[in-house]
Structure 1
């Protein structure tokens, strides 16, 4: 019978808490009894001069009795620890489920229904007179709630099963003999079971593999690292870890594998990777020794086999790369590996591709996720790892390189032959490889182009993490930019703003667009001529040359505009930049009205604040038109989609809290929603062939819409500040005129 929602929501965990207390009393009592037996009965027996039958039977009975009392104490202690941990975890899970059902669901207007088999469904109840139409945001929120509750139920079921198994092993099902398996925590029992299942390798059934994944998913990321560390130690070391993962990934991605098996293998890749990141973090309470990193580097260029008589064996880094694609890794573990892999690639770009399988589906290999390659090229994998590891990525791109030997040891007297990994990997001469097992790859130009771009996409992800301080793809508000992260963005603008042609059709542009959106205040400050008005989110990227005394490393306006023009040809980058600039401009306008008493005339100040946004909109318009009409790089519909999916940037920019809009509460809510709606309304274009024929008309339409967007933002800010309709409209019209003028400047610059 499956563990159900009703089981969890209605169970009285207070009774389990009482049992924990009772077992603690039992443990204390048996401890005292065992000590008494050891110092009393056993000690007297050892000192006694036994003779006859007593010398054998009685002495043996006393010894056995003392041992049994000690074993009973051990067994009771094990039961107490397991029950205590289970009680703590179940109370937390139960509280989260009740909050989700009793608080979160009503807020969304959603009901929760127990459908059995350990799952619930969430739905919007029909209300008389209601059309039952729901926005995508409402549907997404409902689905998130359903997935969250079902995940909590699965976690509770896993705890329940683990406790039952641990109690059974502790007791041993022998009424006349205590002292069987003992555990110091529930994690001990769970790690033991995970290792037991892993010992079966690819002979694990689908059911067993799903159990293994549950154990890893719910325990592998615990903050103290206990489970993750015990599990990896239990596997037997780095080499055994690679052998196990290689065996499982090849089994799960085999062309004959079922979809259930493949999906489970994708889950295993993720959960094992997250657990490895946890276990290799030196700052967790429980962690693997630093020698694991040394051994992984040593194994990186060695072939790994897991079957007797195996012919085609992968290199260690190819296998390890599959695990590294998931998890936020500590720099002390991942960066030496990343440096070694990059240096191996520089020396021989095709070293790791010499043994790749041919004629298989692209998903076949050590990267079951199928994202950005099959997993034969470990450079792509380790760059993806850095993309999830912001601190490590920042250090990788800013700290001086360390030279490594072929075997992964440090070459103390060696020179890597380059000054920084940022320079090396952004050099247009750097050779990227085709990481795919797909058939006829070289005969298919589109497939080849896509596969060649995997590494550059991974590089973009790593740069996002390094510059923003967040794993790429994160929805969170970024921390203040660090000096090192801002310096990386400065170098990227300088590198590609000087040679914008190097970004032509580059897979990196989407990431560069995200980074630009994150640094939009720096960008607009550079255009404004006085960055102090705009401010920065943390350290400055020094993009402008408005004050060479305090900013001697500033860039010329032409370099920044060239960079924006090249990056904006990508639909996703376009959407991120447009949304971010609208958010920053809206924030600046609101700030001006908030501090209106500081200015003799408000209109010129607002014009000054909206001018950079207008120029950026002009650059983006020209880039979009060039990409769609002139160079045929993307369809206009793709740009519309880029706008539609970039809505997170409004919340992120406002959430940075640099301006005067309060972060949190209703105020920031309506501001973000207004920005999102404005961007979609004003920058989603008519993509028909007829509309695209008139290039100038298309651009003029964008000019009007950009100005209208600023009009709306200014008018709304003025009304919120207490202006009547006439005065609010007057301020908005002035801002609108300024944007039309600066938009034209941006277009002209981008068109050069």
Structure 2
């Protein structure tokens, strides 16, 4: 059997015929041993022998030696039969599972080939598009980065499943064969039960190791073994629940506190710090998996974890004692935690911070007397793995973003949405150590949670969406977010700009209809709120690029969509939205007029940054999207280079390239329209240009100009 993660070549070459033969042979063997053990067909059996031995009148040495020998030998037949049944169950389960794994792999490879994605023998995926000299004029689909990410995840998941089947079966068989000289009569009755039993055994082993204490003195080899078990067991409820319950709530928190920051000048760094980052993430996923259990033991654990939030945890000789909330939140950075647990935990954290007023979160969590190094999931300012991780709201909001349904629910609650978006004072966790880069980590996590709430998508997982459709709850969360952030004006948190750019693009259809509205009161979104938030997003060049990528795609998608009435409306709406976005950009630059870095930092040259959050369109539409995006970037670069004058008034030349590309795309979609006939290019450009002027006027009017 394979070692490590199975490759595509190994799974494909797996000889299931040999395994099928082994299953048949063991089925025969199990039947024969069962006959010898229990009898039947008039044959003498081990059961008969044991019965006669027990009833016989043994004398002398026979009474002590022979009776015991015969009885044990008879029992061995029963144990052998039981073990044979276990071997049969394991092999049969493995055969069934591997058959499915191979079928899944072949289906995936065939599906991906249709999208011009090639899967190599090791399991990697690459785009397989023929060169122009081969393709000629044929329409060839070129896979996007998002499609490649999805494809890689699909293949990786299949190979991981096959590797897990291999590991479980091999371990179960080794367990059955561990005794050289007799049969134990113990074994699993299915591959699924073997997985459960192995999970419980692993949890108990590591519970005992942790209970010995001094986990900070574990060698890197032992820590790596623990991490390896966490990695392949973190989706096994039998393991995850047993580990959590076995450690207990306080024990779980104390374990990570001791492991992550032993103190006394022994804070982990280098390779150990990097390894701790993997342990932290795998332990987080294990606890997330366990949180979905509603057994009495796990329900008690969840309540106790929350109750331990206000407690401090230290160790002998160390004054620094972080709160339970700080420790637990750093064990929530990965995985999908149960919605009920997230709800209760968030309410408790909110209540704790509220009770501490007038002290600010920075005063409560950032106090040097309690701040430990608890987060190893990324590099700090010194380029080494490890950061304070002092603000528990950061880890909590990461967990919220990984459960999009709960995120939507959370940000539709006025009290919590108001607290997170307008009331709470976030702070840079790297302070007060004077080594921060200016990024507020918890607000960065807030942005991801908002993105999940408004899209229904986990922002840390690759995905492909195919429409602008949203639930009413997601629309409400988006609208509420726009309102609250718009009300902040220029106090808009910079960490939210990129995520809001993606969220706006994800709601691109409604955004386009709002930006191009003549009667803004009837727009699907609040016009002034959208205007203010897009202005704030546009204050960062990269975020503005993401924003324009999403809006451009929405415009082209609208041009290609089915509509009633004269399609000239789509041409005019395209122009109006471009005018809106142009005004947004100008006002953003004006807001930061004393900061010349906007143009200096321009570097948005790669199309596709928003691909995970805007709908996939057909190849014909994508050509229009790419043409529009390319035209806009050429235009933007010309502005940066000073070739075109900035002017908030009616200056068609500064957006001519982009508008022309969009009008040409509209003409390609509507070749029979009166504006698309030979010689009518000028009236078509005038129509979209005039609409852009109207977009300028409406947006400027909304801000009082």
User: TM-score category by the smaller chain?
Assistant: 0.7 to 0.9
1:375 aligns with 2:389: yes
Note the C-alpha offset of 1:619.
Answer: 3.2
Q: Secondary structure at the match of 1:440?
A: coil
SS in 2 for 1:431: coil
Q: Determine the structure 2 residue equivalent to 1:686.
A: 637
C-alpha change, 1:582 and 1:301, in structure 2 (3 Å) is same
Q: In structure 1, how many angstroms separate the alpha carbons of the residues matched to 2:683 and 2:55?
A: 102
Supply the distance in 2 between the matched residues of 1:173 and 1:206 (Cα, whole angstroms). 31
Residues 465-474 or 188-197, more deviating: 188-197
Superposed CA deviations along residues 552-585 of structure 1, whole A, max 9, x for unmatched, are: xx74x43442333233323344233322222222
Aligned counterparts, 1:270-419, within 5 A: 270-282=281-293, 289-304=298-313, 312-348=320-356, 349=361, 350-354=363-367, 364-370=373-379, 374-399=388-413
Corresponding residue SS for 2:434: coil
Kindly indicate whether residue 7 of structure 2 is the aligned counterpart of residue 12 of structure 1: no
Unpaired segments ≥5 residues, structure 2: 40-44, 135-140, 381-385
| Pair 267,16 (structure 1): closer, same or farther in 2 beyond 3 Å | farther
User: C-alpha separation between the residues in 2 aligned to 1:143 and 1:395?
Assistant: 28
C-alpha separation between the residues in 1 aligned to 2:142 and 2:216?
41
Q: 1:509 aligns with which of 481, 487, 497?
A: 497
Once the 2 structures are TM-superposed, how far is the Cα of residue 61 of structure 1 from its aligned partner? 4.3
Whole-angstrom distance in 1 between the partners of 2:416 and 2:161: 42
Matched, 1:586 2:556: yes
Q: State the partner residue of 2:137.
A: none
Equivalent residue in structure 2 for 1:420, among 406, 411, 415: 415
Aligned residue number for residue 415 of structure 1: none
SS at match of 1:369: strand
Change (3 A) 1:582 1:59: same
Please say if residues 81 and 186 of structure 1, whose CA atoms lie closer than 8 Å, have aligned partners that are also in contact: no
Q: Supply the distance in 2 between the matched residues of 1:312 and 1:561 (Cα, whole angstroms).
A: 47
Separation in structure 1 between the aligned mates of residue 366 and residue 598 of structure 2, nearest angstrom? 34
Please state how far the C-alpha of 1:170 moved relative to its aligned partner: 2.4
Cα deviation for residue 330 of structure 1 reads 2.1
- CA contact 2:516–2:577 (8 Å) conserved in 1: no
Counterpart residue number, 1:433: 427
- The answer on whether the counterparts of 1:621 and 1:747 sit within 8 Å (CA) in structure 2 is no
What is the distance in 2 between the residues matched to 1:476 and 1:25? 49
Q: Is 2:253 the counterpart of 1:242?
A: yes
Hey, what's the Cα distance between the residues in 1 that align with 2:38 and 2:675?
A: 83
The C-alpha deviation readout for 1:403-426, integer Å capped at 9, x for no partner, is xxxxxxxxxxxxxxxx61011122
Q: Taking structure 1 as reference, are residues 457 and 13 closer, same or farther at Cα in structure 2, changes over 3 Å only?
A: same
Aligned to 1:696: 647
Q: Return the offset for 1:459.
A: 1.7
- CA shift at 1:631, angstroms? 4.5
* Distance in 2 (alpha carbons) for counterparts of 1:626 and 1:270: 43
Unaligned runs of 5+ in 1: 400-418, 442-446, 532-543, 656-662
Q: Is the 8 A contact 1:622 1:747 kept in 2?
A: no
Higher relative contact order (CA 8 A, sep 6+): 2
Q: TM-score, normalised by structure 2?
A: 0.78
Contact 1:710 1:732 in 2 (8 A): no
| 1:29-428 equivalence runs, <5 A | 56-57=64-65, 60-61=68-69, 63-65=71-73, 67-95=75-103, 104=112, 112=120, 160=166, 162-179=168-185, 184-189=193-198, 192-193=201-202, 196=205, 199=209, 201=215, 206=220, 209-210=223-224, 212-221=226-235, 225-233=237-245, 235-250=246-261, 257-259=269-271, 261-282=272-293, 289-304=298-313, 312-348=320-356, 349=361, 350-354=363-367, 364-370=373-379, 374-399=388-413, 420-427=415-422
Rounded to whole Å, the distance in 2 between the matches of 1:578 and 1:213 is 42
Residue deviations 1:72-97, cap 9 Å, x none? Answer: 34433443444444444544555566
C-alpha spacing 1:126/1:510, structure 2 compared with 1 (3 Å): closer
TM value normalised by structure 1: 0.74
